Structures are given as C-alpha cells and as structure tokens.
Structure 1
C-alpha cells in the first residue's frame, strides 16, 4: 500500500512539490552474502554464510565489484569480469578454510577498490567535460554500459541535441537505469509517478532520473569522490533545483546530491548570527517533525545553492514574499512566549538587517549587481530564507491558542 501526499507550490515560495510515500509490508529479507544463503550448495558458500566476518567481507567485495563494473567502459568491464571469474576459481581452492578465504577476500577487495577509484575518476572527467564539449562527452559515454553513464546520455539527449544521442539509445539506456534500481522499488515508484505526472515537465523527469542515479553512484563517500554534476544548476535552472530538492519526504532526502553554495555568502558573520539565533526554534520544531524534517533540510540546501548560483532569479516578482507573509511580522506576532521567548525573537529581528546588507554587498562585489538590483534580490533572499524556516517552525511547533 502506498499513500501519496502532496504539498502544492505556493506563489512566491521556493518550496517544491513534496511526494511523501509511506510504504507498508516491504520485504525486509536480507542475504548474508553476495548470494542467497538459502540456496548455498558448496562448502565455500556454507563457510561464507556461516561466518559473519566472511559474509561481511563478501558483501563489501561484491559492492566494490559492482561499482567498478558500472564505472568502466565496456571492454574494460569485460576484462574485469574475466578476472573476477578467475579469482572465484582461486577462492574455491581454499576448500572452506576461513583463514585462506579471509586473506583472499582482503586482497581482492583492495585491488577492486583501487580499480574502482581509477575508473570513477576517468568517468567523472568525462562528465565534467560535458559543458565544454557535449559531443565528445557523448561519444565517450557511449562506451560505457553502467547506469551513471546511461543517465548522462539521457541528459545529453534532452539538453544537448548536438550530442546526437538517438531516441532509440535513450529508450535502451532508460531501461538499463531502471533495471539498476531493481533492489529499490521505492525509488522506482517515486520516479514512475514523476515521469507519469502530466504536471511535471520532461526536463524535471530527466533530471530526477539523473539525481537518483547519482545518489547510488558512490559520490561524497569516505574516499572523498566529489560531485561533478554541479554545472547543471546554472545550465538548467529551475528544473534542476526542483529535481534535486526534497523528493522522498523522509531521511532519504538527507542523501540528495546537492552541491555546496558558490562563494561564502552564508558563511559571512551576519548570516552566521542569523542562523545561530533561529537554530533553537528549528531544533524544537525538528523534535516533533519525524523524518519528514529531512525534506525541509534538503530544500534549504537547494535554496542556498540557488541563491548563490542563480541570484538573478530573485529579481523576479514570483520570488518575492507577499507583504501579507512578511516573516518579520510573523516573528513579532508569535503569541506563545513560553515556546519562543520574546527576548530571543527580538534578537532575531535585529539580526535580519545585517544579513540583508551582507547579501547586498555580496551581490554587488561577487555578482556585479547594480545597487538597486542587489537591494531587490537581497530582500527576496533573506525573506525567503526566513519564510521557509517560519513555515517549518509554525507547522511543527506552532503557538498555542
């Protein structure tokens, strides 16, 4: 059973469509290794399944192998598959001896991790070249079979027609990306709803597919593999901000591949002070919001990116907060001093103007805005930032009547 809730877009607000799925009756069966232990038949398989340490090693090795295969061009992937089959034969010579298996697993895991790192770097270099030469990037990506390369080819077909990715190839690539999500029916159902929703543009659907693939590709992990997709936000604008923001309405939104803001606007002392003064109420509201709070956190991260990458958007009337929704007035009119003491609210109100002035200065020096445009955009950025948090606070811990 899937229950879908929607929060519609509000005029003048950057809040995105929020799809909240509550999934019941999910199959929680897990395998103790890279294969189904219920179907184990050999001494080797029994040894792996009966030993938690070996089972964990086998699992991690399989993950490294699959990730490496996904990030290699076809001919190199074929070579790796042959090597892996040879290694499996070597593994079987251990005859179930745990010390022998442990040594082999550790050695192979180290080899695969090194290969995976090199493969990921090579693929990321191709992806990073897309803005400069989409045609050459497409030709190189076509040598890959993995879901990440496939999702980028779909992206190129949609946004860079000169790349000459064909409709037929997009169909095949789309199927391969969906197949790669076979272990995640939740993501498949979310994506299917987005792709079939007539109110969602095709740009957003393509970018959402890319976003979900990036989430599964091993970025921002312990090895420090950095994001290379950040150029899409400047190039695709609103569609990219929508596709990469809140999507799941759960803790999964904390894994959204959102790039860091450009510059240091939100690191300036005035913004640090404004953030510090509202944090106590954000913390209180978060205690009552469950995992859906991660959706708000994701939207806030997208907002910071949006404000620094495309601040010109905040000159548009649609981005300006209506006077009736003035966040400063909402803070002043808060009626429950027990929940939010007046002294704290007054401190927050005092901190608004310095943040606005800091934003004006940043827009003029870093983005070369005129003084009048900087003032207009700064008002919109600060008001939107505050409005989003006041909405969150009011919804999760509103004042008592």
Structure 2
C-alpha cells in the first residue's frame, strides 16, 4: 500500500474518529484480503484502526488533488517517509495510534482551509438567519452547509430557505450519509418511526453531519459553533446529539462542554476522583457500549448548566443513591477508601450546585435546592447503574 491514510482511522482516538466518519465503517485504504505486512494485518484486524486508515486515505487523495508541482511532490515524499515511521510500529496499536492521529490532523489542515469561514456563518444563525442562509449557499459541495440549510428551513422561516431548497439539500445530505451504513441504518429507523418528531429527525441529521466535520480533530483551532441548539431546542437537541450508537462512535457525540465552572469546583472533582476506580473496573467489563454511558454523562453535565430548570421536577419514584453507595459490598470493584471519598463529597456537591444556580442562573433559594438535589441524584444514579452492571452491589 502506498499510503496508509485509511489505516490511521482506528488509531487516532476521538479526533481520528471524527475525521474518519466520512469513510465507510471498517474500510481500510486497501483490500484487507491482500494484507501481507504486519502493519496492514494489524490495521485490518482492528475496526477502529481500519476506519482511521480509510479516512487518512481520503484526505491524502484530496490533498494530492489540490496541490500541484513542487508542493505535490513534497507531500508525496513526506507521506513515503511517514509510512516508514508507521511501519516501524509493526503490530503495536499503542505506537500506531498517535502517529495516525497526528498525520490525519496534518492532512486535514491541507484539505479543510475553508472551515473558519463556514463556522463563522453557522455561528451567526441565531441572530442573522437570512444572512447565514446566503452564506451557507456559498458552500454547495459541503454536506455540513447543506444540513444547516435544512435546519434553517425547519426552524427559522425568516431565513428564506424554501421547502424545495431544503428538500434538495436534504437529499444531498442523505446521499452522503448512505456511504456509511451504520449511521444510515440508525437514521432510517428514526426517520420511519412515528414516535419521533420531525424536529428530532432534523436535529439528528444535523448531528450526523457535525460528526463528520472534524471539530474534535481541530479542537484547538475549530471550536463547536452549534452549541446554541441546546438552549433553543431543549429535549430534542439533547436527545439528537447524545448517545446514539451504543458503540465507540458515541465517544464522538458532538455535545458541547458544560457552561461555567460548576463541575470544576472541588466537591465535583472529589466525586469524580471517588468514582474513578469503580468506573475504571466496570469499563473493562462493559465492552464498547460503555461509550454510550460516557456520552450520557457528558449530556447530563451540559444540560445541568444550560437548561437547569429541567431539573426542578424530580423524577417520580426515583430513589436516593446514597444508601446504595453506603451498602456497597464489593471491595474489589469499588475500594472503600474511594467510596468514602465520594460519599463525603455528595452534600458539598449539592451545596456548591445550589449556590451556582442562584448566582449564575437566577434561581431562588428553594428552586436551587430542588434542582441541585436532582442534578446530583442523577449524576450519582447514572454512575451507580454503570458500575452495578459489572457487579458490586
């Protein structure tokens, strides 16, 4: 194989997976039936690495198509030199992953020079939907721009996007989505189920295009610009952008970071530290579905800070998690020292959350206490459910 772009996909971790989203699942940059070298066989045997390699191949070919003369020759020579470094890793995924990750980012920088302009247009949607629509039309080949035009027609009538234009853009997006069977099948199921609203379907399609867009790969250069959807669309957005696949893909759910500094405060950091050993043990026994739980936790943190009034009505019949924590009887799955550390942080976490809700979200004292108790309860409940599935209660 003369380039291993697609071989990089599985090894790059979160950043890689976003870059790899455009490549068909499990597709390496070469025929795995003909894999002969240790590196090729390793990449083919690892679905995540194979996806990574496939995406790198796409970017390499795209970059070679854009460059001419000396620049093109320089890229080809650099890729050959990089392949020698990669091949030296042999069958070691821990060696391959950082190499693939870095190379994919370098290649993406060559193939995605227009992202800053597109992101600025997307960020303007809440305040200037009509102008944003005009700007998005300047990117006719971008499935992300197409998905945002579909969004505008659905949610921003003043944008001027017609039903006909939106349908044309929707078909453009669907044509791209069909190239990746996994999300395509999931979307088809959602789209045909009358239980789900058209708002939810539109947001899910948008989410799938955001996933393909490389934001995580260029996190230091390209911050998420879609975060306004959570405050504007509430439950539909949290559901559409949260855990969806029950696999490693949920690691890349395009959920924005929590607002403010709530979860950086000492009691929350102590809770995290107290649960860490139990979560690490449970994660080793739960397979790739664990990534859905990780995404669910991220979604809870985001919702608690962006839409905290969602927590003013406690879940009916919900139990207090603290007794289960106190009665935990498996020292191996959750050492008592760590469990004691977590228990000691529960009430302080409620207190700092209530204070934050009053100062940052304008809650009354009573509202803050109710919401804080529910936020902490759900945070504990979700982690207890996760570690309980691997044994321990």
TM-score (norm: length of structure 2)? 0.74
Can you give the 5+ residue segments of structure 2 that lack an aligned partner in the other structure? 1-23, 32-53, 82-103
User: How far apart, in 1, do the equivalents of 2:55 and 2:169 lie?
Assistant: 32
How far 1:63 sits from its partner (Å)? 4.2
Query: Contact 1:247–1:253 (CA<8 Å) still a contact in 2?
Result: yes
Partner of 1:365: 359
Relative to structure 2, which stretch is displaced further, 179-188 or 150-159?
179-188
Query: Contact 2:274–2:340 (CA<8 Å) still a contact in 1?
Result: no
Listed as ranges, the matches of 1:253-292 within 5 Å are: 253-292=250-289
1:396 aligned counterpart, secondary structure:
coil
Aligned to 2:195, which of 195, 199, 207?
A: 199
Residues 27 and 349 of structure 1, relative CA distance in 2, 3 Å threshold = closer
How far 1:345 sits from its partner (Å)? 3.3
Deviations 1:9-53 (A, max 9, x none): xxxxxxxxxxxxxxxxx98564449xxxxxxxxxxxxxxxxxxxx
How far 1:115 sits from its partner (Å)? 7.0
Relative to structure 2, which stretch is displaced further, 242-251 or 340-349?
340-349
Give the count of matched residue pairs.
322
Query: Contact 1:58–1:105 (CA<8 Å) still a contact in 2?
Result: no
Aligned to 2:131, which of 133, 136, 140?
A: 136
User: How far apart, in 2, do the equivalents of 1:329 and 1:112 lie?
Assistant: 50
2:232 aligned counterpart, secondary structure:
helix
Aligned to 1:126, which of 121, 125, 138?
A: 121
User: How far apart, in 2, do the equivalents of 1:142 and 1:244 lie?
Assistant: 24
Deviations 1:177-207 (A, max 9, x none): 1212343111111111111111111111111
User: How far apart, in 1, do the equivalents of 2:318 and 2:257 lie?
Assistant: 32
Aligned to 1:345, which of 336, 339, 347?
A: 339
Can you give the 5+ residue segments of structure 1 that lack an aligned partner in the other structure? 1-25, 34-54, 66-82
Q: Quick check: 1:244 aligned with 2:238? A: no
Deviations 1:44-98 (A, max 9, x none): xxxxxxxxxxx99975333458xxxxxxxxxxxxxxxxx94x94xx69xx9xxx8
How far 1:374 sits from its partner (Å)? 0.6
TM-score (norm: length of structure 1)? 0.73
Partner of 2:59: 60
Partner of 2:222: 225
Residues 101 and 143 of structure 1, relative CA distance in 2, 3 Å threshold = closer
